A and B are shown apart, each in its own frame.
Chain A
Amino acid sequence: MKGNEAIAEGAIRAGCDGYFGYPITPQSEVMEYLFANKIKERTGMIVLQAESEIASIHMVYGGAACGKRVMTSSSSPGISLMQEGISFMAGTELPCLLLNVVRGGPGLGTIQPSQSDYFQTVKGGGHGDYKMIVLAPASVQEMYDFAKLGFELAFKHRIQVMVLSDGAIGQMMEKVELDEQVPRWTDAEIKAMSPWATTGKTPDRERNIITSLDLNPVKQEIININLQKKFKHIQETEVRFERIQCDDAEYLFVAYGSSARICQKAVLLGRERGIKVGLLRPITLFPYPSDELAKLAKQVKGMLSVEMSAGQMVEDVRLSVNGAVPVEHYGRLGGIMPAPDEVLNVLEQNFIKEKTYEPHTN
């Protein structure tokens, strides 16, 4: 199945209660798949096409505040419109699953794949001091798996989980191993699990209020400090990454998503050429595998951050290694994907051969 279909199926099987979305290329298959699969009859899940991405994210807000497993998906320009709602969900600590199938920008840009929304996603695209858990799938299987994992993490930490994919992962077809249907939660389960949810005030408890407003700066600072504690705890406990041929590596690619797939091939090509090169693939972009990169910095002679962007994640690689090893960036822009031999050549030019390489500029 397609990556976009896989995450839709993953959400259904993870016991998702509702999807609210608005069509945009290259991810419209998510909502199309849900409608085509008659999910109301299958699990009771609801799907609604909203009038805008802004409305979609606020419908997610309403559902999430009831303790339901809800989600939306979009692509870059649509995700920009959702930043208001994401910030409000950060402020109210509402769990939800979000998907960005990134396309090239800025503006309307292109419908081709890109990774240029890293800053927006990982550094907080909306207003205020907040973070989301960011999962970066590199296969159709991971698109499927991250729906369930995303909901688990979202409810474990009362946080928004963004699956940061791209047009290539969303559109490509691969085999997927499916697992059993997780039942949707009953109202009683929601009340027990999420006692904060607005389910109707009963005599046994005070009223539940979902709000991000507190005009008292002293209280608002405490709210913010508690949020930061949560993010720190997530940084300490939820880091996920994949090491590919890192054990004896002298040089390292750092790449996520589609770029990691390209670099995986480049590692094989490099090994054929006798270069001891490995790949560190961050699976969580927040929390970022900084400690692992710091360890690898003691082992390798150079790191190349490969991204389909002008250099966004490379800043986190540099912060992680803190000058211990040279870190370079290579990226293609505007919907162009680099080829494996292309990134390997850049690695060689940067760290092995004499530096004669001129970066690609057009």
Chain B
Amino acid sequence: MSHIPTRDEVIEPENLVYSRTCLLTDNALSYCPGCGHGTAHRLIMEVIEEMNLQADTIGVAPVGCSVLAYDFMNIDMQQAAHGRAPAVATGIKRLHPEKFVFTYQGDGDLAAIGTGETIHVCNRGENITVFFVNNGIYGMTGGQMAPTTLPGMKTATSPFGRDVETMGHPLKITELVAQLPGTYFVSRQSVHTPANVRKAKKAIEKAIQYQKLNKGLCFVEIVSNCNSGWKMTPLESNKWMEENMFPYYPLGDIKVPK
């Protein structure tokens, strides 16, 4: 029988092609297997590590699936009330203009209960970075309709599909904030394929670099899957996302510095 290499043999330095950033903690992620949050966390922390910003970073976690983001990100963090992360980040940044300040929010947090805070933080052009993970559903509370839920999409509170006549239309808040003079860089990405991960990382890098220029708010949306909430396998959910979410929420830069 051939020798099966042990874990220790496999992780010899010469075999190492990738390692987890030290800015992710050892805590096991609480996200469902297949969910995009873990990749989004990793990318943001990788960039902060590569830019050597750990000591200068203060992050704000939302209410939603990523409420426990501070369990996984090895940086100083504050947990905000539902939708209020942009206001919390404003308080931090105004008193610490030299720090790198970001919020990490989901669609319910950012585009429903926190719409006012979102619009005004963008309109003031606060020099913060907003990471917006849009999966079109309330994952944490069990799959209810979100402001970004697609027309006809079935959720726990739209069991026969979202009827735009009575439930309103999916809110393209990213296009909306891109129109405000206070935003400097607005981009929409995804993290479901290696190619998309690389593009998303570039957008995250820009959004962090631009904060140092004090030109305004940088906003990166990551369209993500919610295989549990959508009641699909991870692979099915990624396919469904490509076929349904991306036509409504097209990927790419929406506003770039002139």
Contact = CB atoms under 8 A, between A and B. Distances in A.
Interface in B115-161: 116-117, 120
Interface stretch (A196-204, A284-292, A301-309, A351-359): A196-204
Contact of B91 (A20, A88, A202, A207): A20
Contacts of A199: 58, 76, 96
B54 A201 contact: yes
B75 interface: yes
A62 B227 CA distance: 33
Interface string A76-109: 0000000011001000100000000000000000
A207 B94 contact: no
A207 B72 CA distance: 11
Contacts of A84: 81, 84
A18 B78 contact: no
A68 B99 CA distance: 14
Contacts of A212: 79
Contacts of A88: 80-81
B64 to A, nearest CB: 12
18 contacts: A48-B90, A55-B90, A56-B87, A58-B91, A58-B117, A59-B87, A59-B90, A61-B84, A62-B60, A62-B90, A65-B92, A88-B81, A198-B76, A202-B55, A211-B77, A212-B79, A213-B68, A213-B79
B21 interface: no
Contact of A18 (B74, B75, B94): B94
A63 B84 contact: no
B78 A211 contact: yes
Nearest to A211: B79
Given A51-B117, A58-B117, A65-B92, A207 B60 contact: no
Given A17-B95, A198-B58, A201-B55, A62 B79 contact: no
Interface of B: 54-58, 60-61, 67-68, 70, 74-81, 84, 87-92, 94-96, 99, 116-117, 120
Interface in A163-218: 198-203, 207-213
Contacts of A122: none
A267 interface: no
Nearest to B74: A207
A66 interface: yes
Contact of B84 (A17, A66, A85, A200): A85
A212 B84 CA distance: 14
A61 B85 CA distance: 10
Contacts of A85: 81, 84
B121 to A, nearest CB: 9
A66 B58 contact: yes
Contacts of A200: 54-58, 75-76, 99
Given A58-B87, A58-B88, A208 B76 contact: yes
A207 B90 CA distance: 21
Which of the listed residues B80, B89, B95, B99 has the most CB atoms from chain A within 10 Å of its own CB?
A: B95
Given A50-B87, A51-B116, A54-B84, A65 B78 contact: yes
B55 A63 contact: no
Contacts of A207: 70, 74-77
Contacts of A70: 91, 95
B78 A55 contact: no
B128 to A, nearest CB: 10
A85 B81 CA distance: 7
Contacts of B70: 207, 209, 211
Contacts of B87: 50, 54-56, 58-59, 61-62
Given A48-B94, A51-B117, A198-B58, A62 B77 contact: no
